[in-house]
Amino acid sequence: MATRRDSFKNLSEFGSIIENLDDYRSLPISTRVGDREVLSEKIHGMVNITASPNRITMSVGERYPVFGHRESLGYVIKELKARSCDVHGFVDTVGDRTFTRILFDGLIVKDKESNVELGVSFENPMDRKTRFKGYGYTFRLTCANGAGIKTMLPMMEINERHTSDMCIRVPVMIHDFIGQSLEQTNHMQNLIDSSMKVTVAFESPEQIFETLKVHFNGISDRHVKHIVENLEGEMTPTRWDLFNASNFVTSHYGIKPDVRSEIDRRAELFINPAIPFHPVKIEVKVVVPEILTRPVFVPDQTYLRFD
């Protein structure tokens, strides 16, 4: 499914993007009774009212709580304005879901080669496949790697199922969430510094692949191979190197949102010093040529005859 990306350089541009996002309503849908078309009192549809023409995205219950993109991100921009935050970022729209990455101007940590911007990420689904989510976000400038990172806010994460009281619960969560995000510079710098000091020694590219295959269990081998390739043959990468190789693949290889989120979740473990990470052992199978294993025929000397 195609992704539409809308970038913004400030809150004004962010607000304009929000105003133009798809909006939804839960409305009765029509059914045909004989020759007549009537509205059903029991069957409702979640209707995208900004599409041309309007389209029904799914069937829902009469009281299904519709938490639209404009509504959810409206709470976010309201909080950012209240704190006079200078921000930039982008909103990705994939079908009926939005993925919003917000980076705070000047909120930066560093590794040996690049500045790393800090921010927050919000996801809002209108397709029932996930929940309204909020978590930390980093963007490494040298290679344009973006990554969702829950470790940035160890005690805070938004993960809310759409319910009828979202307008009461969510604004309070967003207020606390953004407030904590702005105070995480030292914490993130310590995580980066620690992960750059710890190396993992591999014996071969095959061992790297097999180790990452276990770490990213359930992720396509194709994506794991790309991560190995982005280590560029390094046999003793740091845990920060492993984190960035993973994020390069999710940022530049056109991976589906759900897969990207899962890779980000596993990659984040590389920079958590409390999580052990060791190479797996590879069993070496020795193949002995058949000619060396075939029984040697020794003739019965009783029947040997020499003339």
The confidence score (pLDDT) of residue 140 equals 87
Task: Quick: pLDDT tens for 143-165.
Answer: 777 877 766 666 667 888 888 88
Half-sphere exposure of 182 (CA within 13 A, CB side): 15
**Between 266 and 257, whose confidence is greater?**
266
Q: Which residue has the higher pLDDT, 93 or 284?
A: 93
Neighbouring CB atoms inside 10 A of 250's CB total 24
State mean pLDDT over 219-230.
95
CA distance 111 to 193: 7
- Block residue for tokens 């980066």: 192
Does residue 59 or residue 238 have the better pLDDT? Answer: 238
CA-CA distance, 246 to 238, in Å (whole number)? 13
- Coil, strand or helix: which one is 45? strand
CA distances from 89 to 101, 156, 248 (A): 5, 21, 18
> What ranges do the domains of the chain cover?
3-20+67-184, 198-271
Note the pLDDT of residue 153: 66
The pLDDT value given to residue 71: 93
How confident is residue 209, by pLDDT bands cut at 50, 70 and 90?
A: very high
Task: Answer with the residue of higher pLDDT: 49 or 254.
Answer: 254
- According to DSSP, the β-strands at 55-60 and 87-94 are unpaired
Question: Contacts for 10-15 with beta carbons within 8 Å, 24 or more apart?
Answer: 10/86, 10/87, 10/88, 11/77, 11/80, 11/81, 11/85, 11/86, 11/87, 14/77, 14/80, 14/87, 14/89, 14/91, 14/102, 15/77
